[in-house]
Amino acid sequence: MLVSNNSYMPPKYFILNGIPGLERVHVWISLPFCTMYIISLLGNLGLVYLIHHEESLHHPMYFFLAMFSLVDLFTCTTTLPNALCIFWFNLKEINFNACLVQMFFVHGFTGVESGVLMLMALDRYVAICYPLRYATILTNPIIAKAGLVTFLRGALLMIPFPFLVKRLPFCQSNIISHTYCDHMSVVKLSCASIKVNVIYGLVVALLIGVFDISCISVSYTMILRAVVSLSSADARQKAFSTCTAHISAIIVTYVPAFFTFFTHRFGGHAIPSSLHIIVANLYLLLPPALNPIVYGVKTKQIRDNVIKFFQGEKGASTQDK
């Protein structure tokens, strides 16, 4: 697509190649992916519905959880349907601009997800360290503003990515070894220097990932100090139990995220590309699939309301008969 000796037109489309080396088992790989996606849809939609419907769950912790569930839903929906089209129907073409849009939403929603995890940690800090002032500190307007700021931070920091990619010349292959348009996977196809893209990617990682993890770490350090100082063993147990679901969500979200981030930039050829792509997909699929289950099992109020809901449905159906 040469225009002059020194300029190149951007490609009209990219080819998303799925998981290289595992093409023969794409259909089998799609089965657990599809199962996790269905669980994500049902679990997160059910959780949001429950929190919206039950007045007993109209508290800051559950409002943040509803935000988290919605972000999880949007995150996996930006990539999984496209991946399933590759696995099932071999539909690998994606328009250049559509690829940039997908890139923006994937990275934007993962940035928002990290921010909501940080807000949930701050919520636990206020609830445990300042229990008497909890309701006055985390009012509904404060929760709404915190959610809006987190969303805007994720969106504004990701806006430059598509423009940084669009300025690059693509004079080589247009085949992306991935199931979705990841920033680094796309820019590596360029025949120009990608130094600016790499540096900006690191800056965003510092402004979102490092900042959020630092806030989470400080929050839990203060929580630990407060809990250890409690005289009653029952009180300590109760305080710790309110944090276990959130800690599980942090682990499930950040471990694959770190793996994906560092292997893209520093892994070189040491990590098989197929393993990297599978983990990158799990990074977007595992948290949405597991978080509703974890919170349903670990959080008594949610567990009780789920049981109450199904018992009510069963009772209603019995009366209809």
Q: Which helix (H) or strand (E) holds 176?
A: strand 175-176
Alpha helices in the chain (DSSP H): 26-53, 60-77, 80-89, 96-129, 134-137, 140-158, 160-166, 183-187, 195-205, 211-228, 233-266, 273-298, 300-320
**Please, are residues 204 and 111 in contact by the beta-carbon 8 Å criterion?**
yes
pLDDT in tens, the chain (321 residues): 444 444 567 789 999 999 999 999 999 999 999 999 999 999 999 999 999 999 989 999 999 999 999 999 999 999 999 999 999 999 999 999 999 999 999 999 999 999 999 999 999 999 999 999 999 999 999 999 999 999 999 999 999 999 999 999 988 789 999 999 999 999 999 989 999 999 999 999 999 999 999 999 999 999 999 888 887 888 788 878 888 889 999 999 998 888 887 776 666 567 788 988 999 999 999 999 999 999 988 888 999 888 888 887 655 555 555
Q: What gap in Å lies between CA 101 and CA 132, rounded to an integer?
A: 45
105 contacts 23 by C-beta, under 8 angstroms = no
Query: What span, in angstroms and rounded, lies between the C-alpha atoms of 75 and 193?
Result: 30
Q: For residue 183, give Cα distances in angstroms to 147, 162, 194.
A: 25, 8, 11
Written as one letter, the residue type at 253 is: T
The overall pTM is greater than 0.85: yes
Q: Could you give the count of Cα atoms lying within 13 Å of 77 in the half-sphere of its Cβ?
A: 13
CA nearest to 188, candidates 273, 279, 78: 273
